[in-house]
């Protein structure tokens, strides 16, 4: 176990890196004509704390990377994430009216424009990945693997498949293995890709990339377990949604399957696996930011 | 002008190449878990004549390519096309009940599964493009440009943007330039990419790739103009939809804007530009197939 962290490294890092990540995102979305551009930008701006692209940049540094090619890679991950939020909120999916306290994209721009903007966000993600290879020609060799990783994380064994499993599981009680499968796909796959792509953009070997992927997977599991727990126990002003919303929807959650105490233990176990995954990278630039991000995720329940 | 064509080259070519294209498509969709795999396969099988991937393979040959790397590239184009049909049929878009006489995917698998399958088809397209570079390592250098081309053809300035413009134009009468912009984006962009990607997969230089792209654009325009015309004049058993369906929906069409006679002329003009685009490639393998595909498209109105 690491000692207590104060989050200073993470905050300083975010302060320095967020403007570059935002610039890469706005450059990507700037390619869209209207009305898709406005809708995509709205979805992107409602998107939140940029946890994923910050993890990509920190992983890139931890893997010894330097230069600007990481920013379109980080943007690609956030574009896929933004697509997933937009898609998940649609009337035929979760049918959500609010996202972080703001009307969801389809309520502002209409369902047709929101659907098309979602499709465009996915395409921009792959476009953004290809742009990275234009900035750093050495990336061209790694681009096939990076495209495969992003597509797999977003696809049927990843985020989109996980969202669907989650919806289809509403009203039933999955077994613990089924629940972990949903969370691995819905949340952990993209966080794993966010970290691994940072390593690949840095040109790291498979050992470092795998360590980062494993770290990201367990940050994702911890994040999802904590999220489930906060839905039961949490303060709505911190979670941004009404307490008990998941239960009301009969969502498959860790507390529903494991109970609250065992769920807390599972979050701590996932965090512990994540911490140990970074062992081989101890002391490198960016690793403190990765660890503080993990603590930030888990501390919400302590 | 070329002399009359009998379509024999195209039929022989399709007979030889379709099994390989189908195998590449099924390999891609085979990566999906259930229920997405079944829905995606259903959408793919309802998809039709594989005009786009056949154009990709013929363009590859015309550009001097050989080997198997073209099949996942051809599959990528068809996966994007299949996604577009599935997406276009959804209740919040065109709300179509039938596609080629079969119930649309969302009617068989439900809207949530259909939406998720559509997203997965898009991701598989980029995955399939990346696979091509695994088959032919020389493609890795060209992959960034190919990803950019496919994303642009699919995106807001291409197919998805065009479908949206088309929907938003319902009930109004666009000017001729606005109508051509819709058709260029909705139909011609992906046909252009289908041909150009074949050239890029073959390692052709920019002159050949541009010639193929230009050919594809004008095949696409001719195709869309003919489609509009058949909707007014055609036999429903040949068009697969009720005559006058576009007019009933107040779709923006060439006959509505230009009248029937002038629309026929425009189709012939687009076909003529397409034919001339292939001038620099005259006599190469695959060019006869490209020209016969064009005649096949245009002959439907003669």
* Average pLDDT estimate for A22-33: 93
Q: CA-CA-CA-CA torsion for B237, B238, B239, B244, nearest 10 degrees? A: -60
Instruction: Name the residue of chain B whose CA is nearest to A144's CA.
Output: B130
> What pLDDT, on the 0 to 100 scale, is given for residue B196?
98
Would the pLDDT of B216 be above 80? yes
Domains detected in chain A: 8-295 (1.10.600.10)
Q: Are the beta carbons of B229 and B256 closer than 8 angstroms?
A: no
Asked if the peptide bond before residue A35 counts as cis, ω within 30 degrees of 0, the response is: yes
CA R_g for chain B: 18
**pLDDT recorded at residue A202:** 97
Tens-digit pLDDT profile for residues A176-223: 888 888 889 989 999 999 999 999 999 999 999 999 999 999 999 999
Q: How is residue B26 written in tokens?
A: 């099924």
Give the residue-averaged pLDDT of B164-187. Answer: 85
Q: Which of B130, B132, B178, B189 to mutate to test the interface with A (most CBs of A within 10 A)?
A: B130
pLDDT at site B2: 42
Quick check: B51 and B293 in contact, CB under 8 A?
A: yes
Nearest by Cα to B86 from B35, B126, B51, B121: B121
Query: Which stretch, A30-39, A117-126, B150-159, has highest mean pLDDT?
Result: A117-126
The residues, ordered by sequence, that sit 6+ positions from B74 with a Cβ below 8 Å of its Cβ are B21, B24, B52, B53, B54, B56, B57, B60, B194, B198
Helix, strand, coil shares of chain B, percent, nearest 5, are: 75, 0, 25
For chain A, give percent helix, strand, coil, nearest 5.
75, 0, 25
Higher pLDDT, B297 or B55: B55
Provide the shortest C-alpha distance from residue B289 to chain A (in Å).
Answer: 30
Query: How are beta strands B98-99 and B102-103 bridged, if at all?
Result: antiparallel
The pLDDT of residue A176: 87
Neighbour tally for A76: CB within 10 Å:
32
Name the pLDDT band for A91 (thresholds 50, 70, 90).
confident
Q: Is B268 exposed, middle or buried (0-12, 13-18, 19+ CB in 10 A)?
A: middle
Q: Do A130 and B120 touch (CB under 8 A)?
A: no
Task: Tell me the residues of chain B between 204 and 243 that have a Cβ less than 8 Å away from chain A.
Answer: none
Cis before A251? omega within 30: no
Check CB contact under 8 Å for B163 and A32.
Answer: no
Q: Can you list the positions of beta strands (E) in A138-272?
A: none
Among B32, B157, B168, select the one facing A156 at the smallest CB separation. B32
CA distance linking residue A3 with residue B25, whole number of Å = 52
Are residues A119 and B37, on separate chains, in Cβ contact within 8 Å?
no
pLDDT tier at B248, thresholds 50, 70, 90: low
For residue B238, pLDDT beyond 60: no
Question: What phi and psi, each to the nearest 5 degrees, are found at residue B7?
Answer: 80, 5
- B146 vs B137: CA distance, rounded Å: 14
Tens digits of per-residue pLDDT, A251-302?
Answer: 778 888 888 999 999 999 999 999 999 999 999 999 999 999 999 888 876 6
B147 vs A145: CB contact, 8 Å cut-off?
no
Q: What is the CA radius of gyration of chain A?
A: 18
pLDDT grade for B189, boundaries at 50, 70 and 90: very high
Confidence (pLDDT) at B3: 42
d(CA B254, CA B151): 27
**Whether the Cβ atoms of residue A292 and residue A271 lie closer than 8 Å to each other:** no
pLDDT at B132 over 60: yes
Q: Does the distance separating the beta carbons of B160 and A119 come in below 8 Å?
A: yes
More confident: B171 or B121: B121
- Residue B297: both structure tokens together: 């498209």
- pLDDT of B243 higher than 70: no
pLDDT tens per residue across span B24-40:
999 999 988 888 999 99
pLDDT in tens, A52-66: 999 999 999 999 999
Mutation target for B interface from A83, A90, A147: give the one with most B CBs within 10 A.
A147
- The distance of A125 to chain B (nearest Cα, Å) reads 9
Cβ under 8 Å to B: A residues 107-166: 111-113, 115-116, 118-120, 122-124, 126-127, 129-131, 133-134, 140-141, 143-145, 147-148, 150-152, 154-157, 160-161, 163-164
Are the C-beta atoms of A10 and A296 separated by less than 8 Å? Answer: yes
Q: Is B99 helix (H, G, I), strand (E, B) or coil?
A: strand
The shortest C-alpha distance from A141 to chain B (Å) reads 6
A-chain residues near B127 (CB < 8 A):
147-148, 151-152, 155
- Most A CBs within 10 A among B38, B69, B96, B116, hence the mutation to make, goes to B116
Global confidence as pTM: 0.90
Strand residues in chain A grouped as ranges (E): 98-99, 102-103
């Amino acid at each position: 176990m690491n000692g207590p962290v104060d989050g200073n490294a993470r905050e300083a890092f975010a302060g320095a890196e967020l403007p570059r990540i935002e610039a890469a995102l706005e450059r990507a979305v700037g390619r869209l004509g209207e009305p898709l551009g406005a809708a995509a930008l709205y979805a992107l701006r409602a998107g939140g704390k940029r946890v994923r692209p910050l993890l990509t940049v920190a992983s890139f540094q931890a893997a010894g990377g330097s230069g600007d090619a990481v920013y379109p890679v980080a943007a690609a991950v956030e574009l896929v994430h933004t697509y997933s939020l937009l898609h998940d909120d649609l009337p035929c999916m979760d049918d959500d009216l609010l996202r972080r306290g703001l009307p969801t994209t389809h309520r502002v721009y209409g369902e047709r424009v929101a659907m098309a903007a979602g499709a465009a966000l996915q395409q921009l993600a792959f476009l953004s990945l290809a742009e990275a290879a234009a900035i750093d020609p050495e990336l061209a060799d790694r681009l096939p693997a990076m495209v495969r990783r992003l597509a797999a994380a977003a696809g049927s064994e990843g985020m989109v498949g996980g969202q669907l499993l989650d919806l289809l599981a509403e009203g039933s009680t999955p077994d613990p293995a089924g629940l972990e499968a949903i969370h691995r796909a819905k949340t952990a796959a993209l966080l794993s890709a966010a970290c691994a792509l940072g390593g690949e953009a840095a040109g790291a070997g498979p050992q470092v990339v795998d360590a980062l992927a494993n770290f990201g997977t367990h940050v994702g599991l911890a994040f999802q377990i904590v999220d489930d727990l906060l839905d039961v126990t949490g303060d709505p002003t911190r979670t941004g949604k009404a307490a008990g919303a998941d239960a009301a929807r009969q969502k498959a959650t860790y507390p529903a399957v494991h109970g609250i105490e065992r769920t807390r233990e599972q979050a701590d176990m996932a965090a512990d696996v994540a911490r140990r995954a970074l062992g081989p990278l101890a002391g490198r630039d960016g690793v403190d930011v990765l660890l503080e991000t993990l603590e930030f995720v888990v501390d919400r329940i302590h």
